[in-house]
């Protein structure tokens, strides 16, 4: 049975006693002696097994002698370099020795054999075989290692290419960011200039533009009161005074519109009842003339910018009074409550967010539903100034204030059936107050 790491030795002799003698001489646990009783048997073994350290070949054999056998062995590519020692009893001439070396032998031994010399020679060739095997294993390991190194180098090369690509992309992205930063700085500078110009405009509008209008109105009033004028002249002066008043109102509305975004955004919990009562008091004459009432229900504290929201409510209430129906007392309903976005049926609202829902409803002249978006545009007026006075800026200011509260506003109207303005803005985790169930009607 072959043991691991045993070195194989092929012994070729047509006489069994000689094969036995060789096996006895070479008895060693590190050796595996394979016997062949003819040249043909040896060739058959070598074609199936190639890992032999040495071949011990008898010269004189029937059918195929040692010389012929060696010549055939040298034709087998896988074993042609295996060392062969001829064993013979009649190698007594130079011609025989030359023939043996020519056939491919590396050494000769004359029978009867010296056991010590045979063991020594075999040991030398076995040692050479082991060293050559070690070299082959090292070569195989080096081949595997080289393949691994080559694969690693290719991987590193790919990684380096990828890193270079990423680095190039980062350089481009950095340049883009630098360009964007420069553009933003440029825009910031332009915005600062525009802001400064707006402040200058506000000053001019507040003082320089309004001052001549106040003088015009004052001189017209003095002229009408002190001078005896014909009816035609008085009508013309009244028209001039009305035009000056409209111009002054336009300037004030433009100033209010420009200040919505530039003013400080400080939110506070606010009760709408005192706010609405103050507005009602400011518009007392208007309320009396229209025989108007305000109904406030379902109120809650709202988290707003107080002075902006007061402007919003003032504009909506005065808008309702302005566009009332003739001979029909104007009735205004105001509600505020907190509702989940899922219940509000508006695709622009987040379903998971709680919103303040403030609604202002009236029974005035209303409007055609096709104008529900246009009424919030600057200077958009659905009626001529001869029928309903105004600058067309009031609802634009309302929308801008709502946007300043991160909210949206919608208008639902129908001709001669009034308008409902619905305002939605985030609750910011505010809670309902004790005023939820309040029901109050404010009359003159």
* Tens of pLDDT, residues 111-151: 888 999 999 999 999 999 899 888 888 988 898 888 888 88
Report the distance separating Cα 173 and Cα 191, nearest Å.
Answer: 26
pLDDT at 275 > cutoff 80: yes
Average pLDDT over the chain reads 80
Provide the pLDDT confidence category of residue 429 given band limits of 50, 70 and 90.
Answer: very low
pLDDT of residue 95: 64
pLDDT at 253 > cutoff 70: no
Provide the pLDDT confidence category of residue 440 given band limits of 50, 70 and 90.
Answer: very low
pLDDT at 441 > cutoff 50: no
Task: Check: CB of residue 56 under 8 Å from CB of residue 9.
Answer: yes
Token digits of residue 435 = 């005023």
pLDDT of residue 51: 86
pLDDT of residue 435: 36
Q: Between these two residues, 428 and 129, which has the higher pLDDT value? A: 129
Specify the 3-state DSSP secondary structure of 407: coil
All structural domains of the chain: 7-113 (3.40.50.2300), 266-442 (3.30.565.10)
Helix spans in 283-351 (H): 284-290, 306-322
Provide the pLDDT confidence category of residue 434 given band limits of 50, 70 and 90.
Answer: very low
What mean pLDDT do residues 335-343 have?
88
Task: Check: CB of residue 85 under 8 Å from CB of residue 106.
Answer: yes
Residue range 65-99, pLDDT digits in tens: 988 999 899 888 888 889 999 988 765 556 666 77
pLDDT at 12 > cutoff 60: yes
Report the distance separating Cα 337 and Cα 355, nearest Å.
Answer: 8
Residue range 148-201, pLDDT digits in tens: 888 888 888 888 898 889 989 999 988 888 988 888 888 888 877 766 666 665
Q: Between these two residues, 224 and 47, which has the higher pLDDT value? A: 47
Q: Please name the residues in contact with 103: beta carbons below 8 A apart, sequence gap of 6 or more.
A: 66, 67, 70, 71, 74
pLDDT of residue 189: 85
Q: Which stretch, 38-47, 325-334, 339-348, has highest mean pLDDT?
A: 38-47
For 374-392, letters b (16+ CB in 10 Å) and e give: ebbeeeeeeeeeeeeebbb
Beta bridge partners of 120: none
Predicted TM-score (pTM) of the model is 0.46
pLDDT of residue 210: 59
Q: Please name the residues in contact with 232: beta carbons below 8 A apart, sequence gap of 6 or more.
A: none
Task: Check: CB of residue 369 under 8 Å from CB of residue 410.
Answer: no
pLDDT of residue 98: 72
Share of the chain above pLDDT 70, in %: 79
pLDDT of residue 430: 40
Specify the 3-state DSSP secondary structure of 318: helix
Provide the pLDDT confidence category of residue 13 given band limits of 50, 70 and 90.
Answer: very high
Task: Check: CB of residue 91 under 8 Å from CB of residue 34.
Answer: no
pLDDT of residue 55: 93
pLDDT at 20 > cutoff 90: yes
pLDDT at 15 > cutoff 90: yes
pLDDT at 101 > cutoff 50: yes
Report the distance separating Cα 47 and Cα 42, nearest Å.
Answer: 9
């Amino acid at each position: 049975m072959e043991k691991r790491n045993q070195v194989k030795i092929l012994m070729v002799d047509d006489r069994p006693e000689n094969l036995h003698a060789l096996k006895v001489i070479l008895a060693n646990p590190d050796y595996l002696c394979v016997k062949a009783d003819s040249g043909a048997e040896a060739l058959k073994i070598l074609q199936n097994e190639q890992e032999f350290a040495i071949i011990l070949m008898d010269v004189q054999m029937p059918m195929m002698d040692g010389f012929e056998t060696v010549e055939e062995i040298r034709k087998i590519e896988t074993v042609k370099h295996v060392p062969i020692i001829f064993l013979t009893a009649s190698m007594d001439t130079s011609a025989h020795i030359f023939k043996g070396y020519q056939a491919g032998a590396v050494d000769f031994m004359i029978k009867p054999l010296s056991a010590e010399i045979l063991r020594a020679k075999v040991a030398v060739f076995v040692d050479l075989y082991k060293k050559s095997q070690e070299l082959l294993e090292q070569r195989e390991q080096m081949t595997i290692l080289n393949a691994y190194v080559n694969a690693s180098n290719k991987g590193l090369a790919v990684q380096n290419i990828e890193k270079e690509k990423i680095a190039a992309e980062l350089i481009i992205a950095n340049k883009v960011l630098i360009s964007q930063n420069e553009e933003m700085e440029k825009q910031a500078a332009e915005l600062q200039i525009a802001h400064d110009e707006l402040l200058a405009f506000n000053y001019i509008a507040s003082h320089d533009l309004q001052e001549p209008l106040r003088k015009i109105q004052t001189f017209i009033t003095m002229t009408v009161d002190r001078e005896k004028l014909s009816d035609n002249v008085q009508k013309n002066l009244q028209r001039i005074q009305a035009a000056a008043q409209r111009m002054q109102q336009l300037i004030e509305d433009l100033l209010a519109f420009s200040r919505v975004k530039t003013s400080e955004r400080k939110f506070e919990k606010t009760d709408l009842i005192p706010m609405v009562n103050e507005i009602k008091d400011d518009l007392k004459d208007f309320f009396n003339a229209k025989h108007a009432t305000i109904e406030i229900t379902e109120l809650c504290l709202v988290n707003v910018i107080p002075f902006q929201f007061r402007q919003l409510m003032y504009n909506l209430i005065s808008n309702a009074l302005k566009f009332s129906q003739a001979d029909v007392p104007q009735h205004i309903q105001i509600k505020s409550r907190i509702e989940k976005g899922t219940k509000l049926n508006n695709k622009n609202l987040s379903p998971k967010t709680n919103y303040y829902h403030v609604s202002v409803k009236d029974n005035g002249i209303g409007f055609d539903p096709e104008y529900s978006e246009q009424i919030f545009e600057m200077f958009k007026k659905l009626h001529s100034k001869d029928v309903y006075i105004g600058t067309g800026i009031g609802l634009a200011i309302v929308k801008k204030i709502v946007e300043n509260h991160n909210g949206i506003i919608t208008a639902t109207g129908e001709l001669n059936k009034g308008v409902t303005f619905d305002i939605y803005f985030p609750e910011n985790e505010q809670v309902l107050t004790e005023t939820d169930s309040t029901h109050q009607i404010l009359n003159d």
